[in-house]
Chain A
Amino acid sequence: MTTPPARTPRVNLGWEAMVIGLLVLALLIGSRLNDAFFTAANLSNLTANLVEVALMALTMTLVVIAAEIDLSIASTLGMCSALLGVLWAAQVPMPLAILATLALGALAGLLNGVLVTRLGLPSLAVTIGTLALYRGLAYALLGDRAVADFPPLWTNLGFGVVPGTQIPIPIVAFVVLAVIVAVALHATPFGRSLYAIGASELAARFSGLRVERVKLTLFVLSGLMSAFAAVVYTFRFSSARADNAVGFELSVIAAVLLGGVSIFGGRGSVIGVIAAVFLIGVINNALTLADVPNEILTIVTGLLLILSVLGPNVAARVRAGSERRRAAAGVKGETT
């Protein structure tokens, strides 16, 4: 009768299925609420609006699965956007400016990674510090100016659509990157090592994984992705400002946790996170179309986040409670 202790699955399929189910439900309800919802133009608009959060959520998923966190992503985005603006204003050719922006993002991630892996500082503390530092550097670079005269050739990449369709161009980039990240996480030794490190860093170290190097890579990737999101953001709004994307880090983390990634590491999947990003986006869009005020959107995001963890916990407890009762009843039955 004794069952072996259930192995906690790396990917919580029940959870992901539920988030995807909720997403479908939200799409259905959205289309019932408003005829404008299921139009190509609205869906195009909806997806374009969440592309930066979606991009940064991809790398945040990797970071959180390895039981670390990066709160500096939105500040990195702001700093990189400011650099892109400054370089363009200084008449640096655009491809070169973009390369420099990506390099700055990677450098920002490298600093986070070095502080976490070489000095052994907690990533929460380090990235709170760099959150302030990088945003400060954004202001140092650009002050309260805005650079807005980007050439249409490039801004079209930001808010244009794939010719003949309503698919925003940045979403194409997102899909490509999502596939790459999903394959890297779920089908390569690198991805498996993230789960191992997140589940038990000590065990991972003893099994010969190069924990420091993996974590350093993660932070660099996170910075690089934030820089790419900065390029997209800057072109999409055709505006480089030091305060671009303030507070985005919390939206990204909310989406990652709602997507079933454990804050303690070792568990989660790319598909769950993508579903969560879109779920939040669809709910916000549907409520906006229904003229629900913005503040309710904030409350809904917060509640979703809390319920995403509270729900399974309560369910597990109820299940454990009923099993205990059944076991107790069984024991009583045997003795009488």
Chain B
Amino acid sequence: MTTQVTESSPARRANLLERLFRAREASLVLILLALVAATSAVNPRFVAPQSLRDLLLNVSIIALVVVGQTLVLLMKHVDLSVSSVVGLTAFLSGSLFVANPGLPVPVVLLAGVVMGALLGAVNGLLVAYGRVPALVATLGTLYVFRGVDYAVVQGGQINASNLPAAFSHLATGSVLGVPTLALLVLAVMVVFAVYLRSYRGGREYYAVGSNVDAAVLAGIDVTRRVMTGFVLSGAIAGLAGVLYLARYGTVDAAAGTGLELQVIAAAVVGGVSIGGGVGTLLGAGTGALLLGAIASALVTLRAPAFWQQAIQGALLLLAISVDIVLARRAARALQERSQR
């Protein structure tokens, strides 16, 4: 009797959980589709190839940074410094082109990743080894990295004319109508989504965020996992910095300011829990896409310019509230069923 219960209930629970998550992401996709349908019914130009391209380009950078942020949020930490990492690497990679105009594009992409990883390592050392709460550590490095950015930039800026055509092509070029930049971001997202879903290392992020003590008892090297998470978050933000440069062409010391809140908002709307251990990249990416679509729908619908931010804020708040209420209802249903 008892063996039957212990054997069947975890399996049933896993099955249910899977269905629940699928449902949560499905509801996001439904909201997104409804939004697109409604907006394009009013103004068909919303789904014109050019505006879809713009939407993808605008969302790509945020969606990329969300990947790293998700890794960190899953472990019940947070990385506020990503906006400063994006700004700093965007400028530094631009300076690389100014110094050596003939530099191949992949080299600069790699340089951005390495710079970002180093900055992320600073966060990782502080949180994993220095035991500084992530909120405090990354708020501190948000200031420090931005300060370094201002010190390096010295009031100058990188202009699109400084950049080789092959590099700008990342943002202007496309494959089968999809911008190259968006494809690159999608590739990174898929790689990390598979890693998080099916690899031991990926599952460890969930384990650490669900219950640190249990993770330690299960033999997970939590310190190393946390360190790796922050390094990856930094590296991905570094890559995003290079893509930011490709997308906007003009980069000054204020580039990327405030990005961190948009990124966290996208992750939370996408169902990644601030409490750790819950969320998928599919959801987080959809969250980024939804927020981007809302912003551009408001423009398309000619919402009064000064109301747009307020409407976005209200929708964000609504999304967070609905999400948590649904999650709680699902958890209660799960509990009742397992008691039966």
Question: Which A residues are closer than 8 A to B by beta carbons?
Answer: 115, 119-122, 124-126, 128-137, 139-140, 143-144, 242, 250, 253-254, 257, 263-264, 293-303, 305-306, 309-310, 313-314, 317
Is the beta-carbon distance between A134 and B313 smaller than 8 angstroms? yes
Contact of A136 among B141, B144, B309 (CB under 8 A): B309
Interface residues of B in 116-156 (CB under 8 A from A): 126, 130-133, 135-137, 139-144, 146-151
* A–B complex contacts, Cβ < 8 Å, 25 sampled: A121-B320, A121-B321, A122-B275, A124-B274, A125-B268, A128-B316, A131-B313, A133-B314, A136-B307, A136-B308, A136-B310, A140-B307, A250-B139, A263-B133, A293-B151, A296-B147, A298-B144, A300-B147, A302-B139, A302-B140, A302-B141, A302-B142, A309-B132, A309-B133, A309-B137
Of chain B, the residue at the smallest CB distance from A129 is B317
**Dominant secondary structure at the B interface:** helix
One digit per residue, 1 when the CB lies within 8 angstroms of any chain A CB and 0 when it does not, for chain B 291-323 equals: 000000000000011111111111011001100
- Find chain B residues with CB under 8 A from A132 CB: 261, 265, 309, 312-313, 316
Is the beta-carbon distance between A306 and B309 smaller than 8 angstroms? no
Assembled-state Cα–Cα distance A301/B316 (Å): 31
Of chain A, the residue at the smallest CB distance from B307 is A140
Is the beta-carbon distance between A254 and B139 smaller than 8 angstroms? yes
Interface residues of B in 150-170 (CB under 8 A from A): 150-151
Contact of B147 among A129, A134, A302 (CB under 8 A): A302
Known: A131-B261, A133-B317. A298 touches B147 (CB 8 A): yes
- Find chain A residues with CB under 8 A from B275 CB: 122
Is the beta-carbon distance between B320 and A125 smaller than 8 angstroms? yes
How many interface residues does B have (CB within 8 Å)?
A: 46
Assembled-state Cα–Cα distance A242/B305 (Å): 13
- Nearest-neighbour CB distance to chain A for B99, whole angstroms, equals 21
- Find chain B residues with CB under 8 A from A135 CB: 309, 313
Is the beta-carbon distance between A263 and B136 smaller than 8 angstroms? yes
- Find chain A residues with CB under 8 A from B261 CB: 128, 131-132
B218 at the interface (CB under 8 A from A): no
Known: A121-B320, A129-B316, A133-B316. A306 touches B141 (CB 8 A): yes
- Find chain B residues with CB under 8 A from A303 CB: 140, 144
- Find chain B residues with CB under 8 A from A250 CB: 139, 142-143
- Nearest-neighbour CB distance to chain A for B82, whole angstroms, equals 14
- Find chain A residues with CB under 8 A from B38 CB: none
Assembled-state Cα–Cα distance A201/B310 (Å): 33
B324 at the interface (CB under 8 A from A): yes
Assembled-state Cα–Cα distance A125/B139 (Å): 16
Is the beta-carbon distance between B312 and A136 smaller than 8 angstroms? yes
Contact of B151 among A125, A126, A295 (CB under 8 A): A295
B264 at the interface (CB under 8 A from A): yes
Assembled-state Cα–Cα distance A313/B306 (Å): 46
Assembled-state Cα–Cα distance A131/B261 (Å): 9
What is the count of residue pairs linking A and B with beta-carbon distances less than 8 angstroms? 140
Is the beta-carbon distance between B316 and A305 smaller than 8 angstroms? no
Is the beta-carbon distance between A126 and B320 smaller than 8 angstroms? yes
Assembled-state Cα–Cα distance A324/B308 (Å): 59
Assembled-state Cα–Cα distance A177/B129 (Å): 39
- Find chain A residues with CB under 8 A from B314 CB: 133, 136
B325 at the interface (CB under 8 A from A): yes
Known: A132-B313, A140-B309, A254-B140. 12 other contacts (CB 8 A): A124-B78, A133-B317, A137-B313, A299-B143, A302-B147, A305-B136, A305-B139, A305-B143, A306-B126, A309-B130, A309-B132, A309-B137
Assembled-state Cα–Cα distance A183/B326 (Å): 42
Is the beta-carbon distance between B324 and A253 smaller than 8 angstroms? no
Is the beta-carbon distance between B151 and A140 smaller than 8 angstroms? no
Is the beta-carbon distance between B133 and A264 smaller than 8 angstroms? yes
- Find chain A residues with CB under 8 A from B304 CB: 140
- Nearest-neighbour CB distance to chain A for B129, whole angstroms, equals 10
- Find chain B residues with CB under 8 A from A126 CB: 317, 320
Assembled-state Cα–Cα distance A300/B140 (Å): 9
Known: A129-B316, A310-B130. A298 touches B324 (CB 8 A): no
Assembled-state Cα–Cα distance A41/B322 (Å): 53
- Find chain B residues with CB under 8 A from A120 CB: 324, 328
Of chain B, the residue at the smallest CB distance from A314 is B130
- Find chain B residues with CB under 8 A from A253 CB: 139
- Find chain B residues with CB under 8 A from A264 CB: 133
- Nearest-neighbour CB distance to chain A for B304, whole angstroms, equals 8
- Find chain B residues with CB under 8 A from A134 CB: 313
Of chain B, the residue at the smallest CB distance from A69 is B135
Assembled-state Cα–Cα distance A264/B305 (Å): 39
Assembled-state Cα–Cα distance A80/B48 (Å): 40
Of chain B, the residue at the smallest CB distance from A316 is B131
Is the beta-carbon distance between B150 and A294 smaller than 8 angstroms? yes
Assembled-state Cα–Cα distance A298/B130 (Å): 22
Assembled-state Cα–Cα distance A131/B80 (Å): 15
Of chain A, the residue at the smallest CB distance from B137 is A306
Is the beta-carbon distance between A299 and B320 smaller than 8 angstroms? no
Contact of B130 among A124, A133, A293, A313 (CB under 8 A): A313
Assembled-state Cα–Cα distance A136/B311 (Å): 7
